[in-house]
Amino acid sequence: MATRPKKSDSATSRKSAASALPTAVKAPKPANFAKEQELEAYREMLLIRRFEEKAGQLYGMGFIGGFCHLYIGQEAVVTGVQMALTEGDQVITGYRDHGHMLAKGMDPNGVMAELTGRRGGYSRGKGGSMHMFSKEEDFYGGHGIVGAQVSLGTGLAFANKYRDNGKVSVTYFGDGAANQGQVYESFNMAELWKLPVIYVIENNRYAMGTSVARASAQTDFSQRGASFNIPGMQVDGMDVRAVNAAADYAAKWCRKGEGPIILEMQTYRYRGHSMSDPAKYRSKDEVQKMRSESDPIEQVKARLTEKEWATEDELKAIDKEIRDIVSKSAEFAQNDPEPDPSELYTDILK
Ligand SMILES: Cc1ncc(C[n+]2csc(CCOP(=O)(O)OP(=O)(O)O)c2C)c(N)n1
Ligand SMILES: [Mg+2]
């Protein structure tokens, strides 16, 4: 009788089988950033990091109610992808959404004010951290239901194809969401109709407190579309240049009419799942190792210094500029009035 392979053996053999699939695409070399692009990436990632640190503080002070999921550690993903997009491309994601909005160029005041439930927030103070939208900025949320954005993002791509407008829908979701059923119904339709959608799977190694190894039978997420013939690649999601090159490839693929593509971004979140998670399911050493060896911002900073593209003083000046933007957003978010009670009866589906 055949013996069942040990878990570690089966995980290894599954992985090698996946990388031999015809849908397995090798990630392109990291983009060769010029000085301006390195500085742009540095600024953008720093804005997200400082914004999230401030949001964490405001949460601790009781200014933010409900859930709050921070994006610290994953900044290179949205930054590198956004740098490869063109105006009019749409973005949709789950509840860990602040970084996606900032990378898209949305106003930090509007994002922070939504976190504190104020009038000037993107959902006029009625959505909070997980439910922010801006049709004007082509940002379609902000979704609290794990996986829900995948079918919606596929729908955006359907509309783009129908209108023949050349736009791409960038649909972000997590490693945990990748195990949700509607993801696969969406994959089927996307490939069948060759919809212009980039599925960005942000594999930050945990879904709440459960590690990928414990929850996923197939941990090569780039091959989750293999049964639908959707190509995919694994990307170093801590290196903004690697992310950018992969996103550029994917955007061109979609615009050529080749259909959907999957980018598995191998990344890491430094904080707990949400503000109420002390993250006891992993060791401090694991987090510290990622921070000291792979931090996306430190990587750019090291290159800028090494190539003498920025002095310590210039980098400090950028940091100050970013801190000022974030402080102003926090001030606005604490002083802007709450919505009028009559707003309870507006924006409701009747
Ligand atoms: C349909 C549904 N099931 C369960 C939950 C509870 N839940 C919230 S976040 C989460 C984990 C998702 O992890 P992942 O997709 O890896 O995203 P990450 O938080 O790591 O960014 C779960 C199970 C939910 N919000 N929606
Ligand atoms: Mg995850």
- Which ligand has an atom closest to residue 203 CA? 2
How far is it, in rounded angstroms, from Cα 179 to Cα 248? Answer: 26
Of 69, 208, 281, the one to substitute when testing ligand 1's pocket (max ligand atoms within 8 A of C-beta) is 208
Report which protein residue has its CA nearest ligand 1's atom 17: 174
pLDDT for the residue 2: 57
Of 78, 146, 172, 221, the one to substitute when testing ligand 1's pocket (max ligand atoms within 8 A of C-beta) is 146
- CA neighbor of 64 nearest in space, from 133, 111, 102: 111
CATH of 38-87+144-161+168-274+296-329, picked from 3.30.360.10, 3.40.190.10, 3.40.50.970, 3.40.1350.10, is 3.40.50.970
pLDDT for the residue 323: 98
pLDDT for the residue 350: 79
User: Cβ(71) to ligand 1 under 6 A?
Assistant: no
Q: How many Å lie between the centroid of ligand 2 and the Cα of residue 210?
A: 9
Mean pLDDT of 178-191: 98
Report which protein residue has its CA nearest ligand 1's atom 3: 146
Mean pLDDT of 150-166: 98
Q: Over 80: is that where the pLDDT of 5 sits? A: no
pLDDT for the residue 11: 41
**What does the pLDDT look like over 209-234, one tens digit per residue?**
999 999 999 999 999 999 999 999 99
Q: How many Å lie between the centroid of ligand 2 and the Cα of residue 324?
A: 31
Place of tokens 């930090």: 108
Of 17-26, 44-53, 157-166, 260-269, which gets the smallest average pLDDT?
A: 17-26
% of the chain residues with pLDDT over 90: 93
Structure token pair of residue 198 = 């980039």
- CA neighbor of 239 nearest in space, from 91, 112, 77: 77
> Distances in Å between the alpha carbon of 35 and those of 41, 47, 305, 306?
10, 18, 11, 12
pLDDT for the residue 182: 98
**What does the pLDDT look like over 41-87, one tens digit per residue?**
999 999 999 999 999 999 999 999 999 999 999 999 999 999 999 99
Q: How confident is the model at residue 3 (pLDDT cuts 50, 70, 90)?
A: low
Q: How many Å lie between the centroid of ligand 1 and the Cα of residue 231?
A: 25
Q: How confident is the model at residue 8 (pLDDT cuts 50, 70, 90)?
A: very low
Dihedral sign for Cα 234, 93, 108, 49, please. negative
Q: Over 70: is that where the pLDDT of 12 sits? A: no
φ/ψ region of 335 (left if φ > 0, alpha if ψ in -120 to 50, else beta) reads alpha
pLDDT for the residue 52: 98
Strands 210-211 and 206-207: antiparallel
Query: Which H or E run contains 80?
Result: helix 75-82
C-beta of residue 86 within 8 angstroms of C-beta of residue 112 = no
CA angle 105, 80, 291 (to 5 degrees): 105
Nearest ligand 1 atom to alpha carbon 202: 21
How far is it, in rounded angstroms, from Cα 108 to Cα 121? Answer: 10
Report which protein residue has its CA nearest ligand 1's atom 6: 146
Q: How many Å lie between the centroid of ligand 1 and the Cα of residue 305?
A: 38
**Overall pTM > 0.85:** yes
User: Cβ(273) to ligand 1 under 6 A?
Assistant: yes
Mean pLDDT of 138-166: 98
C-beta of residue 70 within 8 angstroms of C-beta of residue 234 = no
Q: How confident is the model at residue 10 (pLDDT cuts 50, 70, 90)?
A: very low
For the chain, where are the E strands, in sequence order? 90-92, 169-174, 197-203, 206-207, 210-211, 232-236, 261-266
Compute, in degrees rounded to 10, the torsion defined by CA atoms 127, 128, 133, 136.
100
pLDDT for the residue 298: 98
* Average pLDDT score, the chain: 95
How far is it, in rounded angstroms, from Cα 37 to Cα 244? Answer: 11
Dihedral sign for Cα 324, 326, 327, 329, please. positive
- Burial zone of 129 (CB within 10 Å; 0-12 exposed, 13-18 middle, 19+ buried): buried
For every residue of 287-335, DSSP letters joined together read HHHHHHHH-HHHHHHHHHHHTTSS-HHHHHHHHHHHHHHHHHHHHHHHH
How far is it, in rounded angstroms, from Cα 60 to Cα 52? Answer: 12
